Amino acid sequence: MFERELQRKIEDFRELGIPSYLPRDSKLHMVDRMVSTVIGARRSGKSFRVLQAADELIRQGFLPSLRHVCPVDFDNPILSAMTAKDLPLIQGTFLKITPECGLQTPLLFVLDEIHRIPKWEDYVIELSRNPRWKVIVTGSSSKLLKDDISTSLRGKSISSTVYPLSFAEYLRFTACEGQSASTRGQAAMRARFDDYLKWGGYPAIPGAPAPSREVLLREYFDTMLLKDIVQRFNVSKPQQCIELYHYLLSNIGRPYTLKSAYELLKQAGHATSRDAVREYVAWAEDAWLLFTIPIHAQSQKEQERNYRKVYAIDWALALRNSSVWDGSYARSLENMVYLHLRRNYPRVRYYLTRSKRQEVDFLVSDERGKPVLAVQVSQEISHPDTLRRELEPLVSTARYFGTAQNLILTLGQEQRFDQDGVTVHALPTWRWLLQENAVACSGSDLASCPPASAPVAG
């Protein structure tokens, strides 16, 4: 049964070929004799990013042709019933129907959602030991990045993350890339940014009719709940989970504590505990639905004493599945900035100033743990009180940490402020996103951003 289904999937892939795709900028790391793990939220574009990598390997000459790619999807109702002992059927079936290939032939194995198979790790390690074979494992569980990678794969893997579209990618998906030079081009990009702010970065959204976009965002949320949380963790009280997630999605960018979430569920009549709430939040983070970030602090105890802030994998997904929404996109803008920082920096936290306990939205550190960037997000800063509220803690934080960059990201305002020896730049968020993307994509190998004009395999 398994062999027939494997053969069918492989032959269907060969007949259909690699579908047309628009290149993504996310880095995909591949190292000899190591398993490449590609993780991210459901519907964020992992499968197409891996197909892009396969196409790149073919164009670079490492793979002779598409016949040297073996894709297996364990979301498949038949293949999901495999056990660890059945997994060697994959290369056995592939080599059987591809007689020109052998142990010395360059091959690429793409194993999607294989973490659904218990004790899968030893199999992929063994598969990757062949120096002529590359193995890519994809999944929508953050355990592939945190727990399984650090323990079961024992240093034999290298991870990459795929997020929904960055703004630069969104421009590419809406055929608006490279139009920033002229006044007309900048107006077009600002209009695209307004759409991006309203509808988020899921790859299917730009091409979907406007009436279908909200339906898609609701269905994505329902699917993540069902498949990536309720079924994966065998949740006994799903209604509690759902109510908590609706609440958290309504509060992106705002403070969150276990106590406040626990009180919310109790007031709604649910018999629960703080440990249960802690589990619900951990499951949402594992499924890439939500992220919680702590304060920038020197000790774990200090982090635990302070609240966390909540962000979603996609701000439009959050708004369309919130229990309440006031019609404002201020929190969406902050969530957008958070995701962009998360893509490009190793550590993103918020900060409270030491004297007045004023909040700085984001304090970003480099690989050595040194704060290098302080960021406030505000739709507009024309009112003196708003400007003072954003500028004062930013300047205080910059003076304390000596951060090299200090920004207030806005919808459209651009201005420079010099105060107490600190320079702060207010910038339109759309322009900053494109500048940051250009810096992040300044490499030139398989693990870097391909050119937008790269050939498309059909």
> Where do the structural domains in the chain lie, given as residue ranges?
2-162, 166-208, 209-327, 328-440
Give the C-alpha separation, 375 to 343, whole Å. 15
Which amino acid does the sequence have at 321?
N
Q: Please give the biggest Cα pair distance in the chain.
A: 74
- From the CB of residue 292, how many other CB atoms can be counted at a distance below 10 Å? 15
Q: Print pLDDT tens along the chain (458 aa).
A: 999 999 999 999 999 999 889 999 988 999 888 999 998 999 999 999 999 999 999 999 999 999 999 999 998 899 999 999 999 999 999 999 999 999 999 999 999 988 889 889 999 999 999 999 999 999 887 666 554 444 567 678 888 999 999 999 999 999 887 666 678 888 888 999 999 999 999 999 999 998 999 999 999 999 999 989 999 899 999 999 999 999 999 999 999 999 999 999 999 999 999 999 999 999 999 999 999 999 999 899 999 999 999 999 999 999 999 988 888 899 999 999 999 999 999 999 999 999 999 999 999 999 999 999 999 999 999 999 999 999 999 999 999 999 999 999 999 999 999 999 999 999 999 999 998 776 665 543 344 333 333 333 32
Which amino acid does the sequence have at 187?
A
Smallest Cα–Cα separation from 394: which of 382, 381, 406? 406
Q: In what order do the strands lie in the sheet with 359-365?
A: 347-352, 359-365, 371-377, 405-410, 422-428, 415-419
Q: Which two tokens stand for residue 428?
A: 């339109």
Q: What is the DSSP string of 327-365?
A: S--HHHHHHHHHHHHHHH-SEEEEEE-TTT--EEEEEEE
Predicted pLDDT of residue 447: 40
Predicted pLDDT of residue 115: 84
Smallest Cα–Cα separation from 253: which of 350, 347, 392? 350
User: CA dist 209 to 213, 216, 315, Å?
Assistant: 7, 10, 19
Q: In what order do the strands lie in the sheet with 308-312?
A: 255-256, 308-312, 290-293
Predicted pLDDT of residue 178: 65
The model's pTM is: 0.90
Predicted pLDDT of residue 440: 60
Q: Which CATH architecture has domain 2-162?
A: 3-Layer(aba) Sandwich (3.40)
Which amino acid does the sequence have at 7?
Q
Task: With beta carbons less than 8 A apart as the criterion, state whether 442 and 425 touch.
Answer: no
Inter-axis angle of helices 183-199 and 429-440, to 10 degrees?
Answer: 90
Task: With beta carbons less than 8 A apart as the criterion, state whether 246 and 321 touch.
Answer: yes
Give the C-alpha separation, 56 to 50, whole Å. 10
Predicted pLDDT of residue 446: 42
The top-level CATH class assigned to 328-440 is alpha beta
- For tokens 């959050």, what's the residue? 318
